[in-house]
Chains A and B, each alone.
Chain A
């Protein structure tokens, strides 16, 4: 399994959000770090095919990002995760499962499994408008996992989760990352530090650091803040 991003570029008016990024990703958890406006969300949208690049390509096992087959293999939790307030949690997952092409019987089984996993089993029949922020976020994580994606893209997935849920989530991601590609963006360095196999640090639409991070290199947060401070200084 291989995700190839090749000279990916996206520009909004005069601002280059993603600037000729090229990278090959294989199984594992990739932690995407960067300040606001660094281009993380844009890059994730490009990888998920909801945003068209100005140039460059994204392929997963030779499948182009624009194809239905590619979309069948991905799971995506956007930063601003949207939902239907009058749907129940179960309805929402069954609707998303149908969108992902999962057969009805399998969808129901998988929805129950995921609701259990994200601790929403009891609230499955309640309307989403009655969910707390954390519950909505957990539902968002569940929908991203419905089709057992080979490529899981999570934009700020831990926002709204309490510390206990955050630990549970980290373990879950680490497990998924053993056999799949997980790209995870966050502001919270400690989230990435614990589960990411590879750190991808973005600044001005480019990767300023990519590779493994071990303690011998020092504190990741300090390194990250240093880059950020330099950015502010500039």
Chain B
């Protein structure tokens, strides 16, 4: 079956032969690098009482965070942070700034922070964290059963947390939303003509009357398209991760995820969460590839194919379904354009599958795989039935 291998290589070649693939790919990769740089470009910013450039701020924060790495965030440390914030010396403030900002993350929005509230936070940091999580779960309309499950899971998370500098890795969760859209855009442009090109170029007639032009070629095209999709996802993720690690460092891979995202109730490390993110991105890439190629087969027009994912992308950027519509909101958040976001880490809504309760992040790859298989089966039927009629 080395002919199938040859077909696979040529199908990839058809995609890579297009100039637009290289142009768009290059731009997207630059944007991936830019994600890590964007926070460093602003002119100046306050850090404690000093005015420094964004880059300097990052370097100072990095240095201080590294100094504090391995420190347990307990009452003693909290008191030191409290003292440093009331101390007039900027340097003193800077030293504990990473912990100060960590505490801000628990409150969620610093504009809401009053001194009284912050005083309370210094005394009862972990109680406040639990309160915020509980509030989240109320907002998310969790059932009592779901709350029980989470209570059991919460009990396994050891507190107090040990501080680590995690920006290099945790940034990837913040960038995931953008990477996801870049990926969708890239695949829409590059894979929209996988099937439609044969009709456009009128090569369909000689293909469909050849020995492997029906079933075999269909699967070869799908395989080549998915290979392209997964490779693109790996490349985008790899370049983004490399840029982030190069700038922010590779520290904190083994730190508890609660150090980066305090309201998350997963009992895993930051590094493990990044691996999960990569896995999700690959699942999303497979789904995008399969759906775009399916559209390419049914619409037979690459512009029309591109319009659908881009329209979908814009719609999901603009629209949100509030938590109060529990089922609709949860299904909406399962959409691949909504799933890869940092806030999914503290989305505690569960789905019951045969008595097992799983999160959106756990069920999504299975749902995506099923949709992929469905598009492949229907797409194959359409492809096999296609006839070259009057043009």
User: What is the interface of chain A, defined by CB distance below 8 A to chain B?
Assistant: 12, 42, 45, 48-52, 68, 71-72, 74, 76-78, 80-87, 91, 94-104, 107, 143-144, 147
Q: Nearest chain B CB to A126's CB is how many angstroms away? A: 14
What residues of B have a CB within 8 angstroms of the CB of A104 in the complex? 2-3, 6
- Contact of B153 with A by CB under 8 A: no
Partner of A99, one of B14, B201, B207: B207
Q: Which residue of B lies closest to A10 (CB)?
A: B389
A94 to B2, CA, bound (A): 12
What residues of B have a CB within 8 angstroms of the CB of A76 in the complex? 205-206, 209
Which 6 residue pairs spanning A and B have beta carbons closest together?
A82-B202, A82-B203, A98-B6, A86-B17, A99-B210, A101-B211
- Contact of B22 with A by CB under 8 A: no
Partner of B388, one of A50, A107, A143: A50
Partner of A51, one of B2, B3, B210, B389: B389
Q: Nearest chain A CB to B205's CB is how many angstroms away? A: 4
Q: Could you pull out 23 A-B pairs where Cβ atoms are within 8 angstroms? A: A45-B387, A48-B209, A50-B208, A50-B209, A71-B214, A72-B211, A76-B205, A78-B388, A80-B205, A82-B201, A82-B205, A84-B14, A84-B201, A84-B203, A91-B10, A95-B6, A98-B6, A98-B10, A99-B210, A99-B217, A101-B211, A104-B6, A143-B206
Q: Are A100 and B388 in contact (CB under 8 A)?
A: no
A107 to B4, CA, bound (A): 13
Q: Are A95 and B7 in contact (CB under 8 A)?
A: yes
A94 to B11, CA, bound (A): 12
Q: Are B7 and A82 in contact (CB under 8 A)?
A: no
What residues of B have a CB within 8 angstroms of the CB of A74 in the complex? 209
A163 to B204, CA, bound (A): 29
Q: Nearest chain A CB to B302's CB is how many angstroms away? A: 15
B189-207 vs A: 1/0 string, CB under 8 Å?
A: 0000000011001111111
A101 to B209, CA, bound (A): 12
A95 to B6, CA, bound (A): 7
- Contact of B249 with A by CB under 8 A: no
What residues of A have a CB within 8 angstroms of the CB of B2 in the complex? 103-104
Q: Are A102 and B210 in contact (CB under 8 A)?
A: no
A74 to B391, CA, bound (A): 23
Q: Are A71 and B211 in contact (CB under 8 A)?
A: yes
What residues of B have a CB within 8 angstroms of the CB of A52 in the complex? 387
Partner of B212, one of A78, A84, A99: A99
Q: Are B203 and A99 in contact (CB under 8 A)?
A: no
- Contact of B213 with A by CB under 8 A: yes
Q: Nearest chain B CB to A67's CB is how many angstroms away? A: 10
- Contact of B23 with A by CB under 8 A: no
Q: Which residue of A lies closest to B387 (CB)?
A: A51
B1-20 vs A: 1/0 string, CB under 8 Å?
A: 01110110010011001100
What residues of B have a CB within 8 angstroms of the CB of A100 in the complex? 210-212
Q: Which residue of A lies closest to B19 (CB)?
A: A86
A95 to B207, CA, bound (A): 10
Q: Are B17 and A98 in contact (CB under 8 A)?
A: no
What residues of B have a CB within 8 angstroms of the CB of A78 in the complex? 202, 205-206, 388
Given contacts A84-B14, A99-B213, A101-B211, 4 further A-B contacts (CB under 8 A): A68-B214, A80-B202, A96-B210, A103-B3
What residues of B have a CB within 8 angstroms of the CB of A77 in the complex? 206
Point out which of B4, B203, B211 has the most chain A C-beta atoms below 10 A from its C-beta: B211
Q: Are B207 and A51 in contact (CB under 8 A)?
A: no
Q: Are A98 and B3 in contact (CB under 8 A)?
A: yes
A52 to B146, CA, bound (A): 56
A72 to B205, CA, bound (A): 14
Q: Nearest chain A CB to B178's CB is how many angstroms away? A: 31
What residues of A have a CB within 8 angstroms of the CB of B17 in the complex? 84, 86-87
Q: Nearest chain A CB to B9's CB is how many angstroms away? A: 9
- Contact of B354 with A by CB under 8 A: no
- Contact of B331 with A by CB under 8 A: no
Q: Which residue of A lies closest to B6 (CB)?
A: A98
A83 to B4, CA, bound (A): 20
Considering only residues 158-209 of chain B, those with a C-beta below 8 Å from chain A are 197-198, 201-209
Q: Are B212 and A98 in contact (CB under 8 A)?
A: yes
What residues of A have a CB within 8 angstroms of the CB of B13 in the complex? 87, 91
- Contact of B353 with A by CB under 8 A: no
- Contact of B390 with A by CB under 8 A: yes
Partner of B206, one of A42, A81, A97: A81
A82 to B202, CA, bound (A): 5
What residues of B have a CB within 8 angstroms of the CB of A80 in the complex? 202, 205, 391
B362-389 vs A: 1/0 string, CB under 8 Å?
A: 0000000000000000000000000111
Q: Nearest chain B CB to A108's CB is how many angstroms away? A: 10
Q: Which residue of B lies closest to A99 (CB)?
A: B210
Partner of A96, one of B201, B204, B206, B387: B206
Partner of B205, one of A48, A84, A94: A48
B119-138 vs A: 1/0 string, CB under 8 Å?
A: 00000000000000000000
Partner of A71, one of B14, B213, B390: B213
A101 to B205, CA, bound (A): 17
A77 to B203, CA, bound (A): 10
Q: Which residue of B lies closest to A78 (CB)?
A: B205
Point out which of A49, A82, A147 has the most chain B C-beta atoms below 10 A from its C-beta: A82
Whether A45 touches B3, Cβ cut-off 8 Å, given contacts A50-B388, A71-B211, A99-B210, is no
Q: Nearest chain A CB to B195's CB is how many angstroms away? A: 14
Q: Nearest chain A CB to B3's CB is how many angstroms away? A: 4
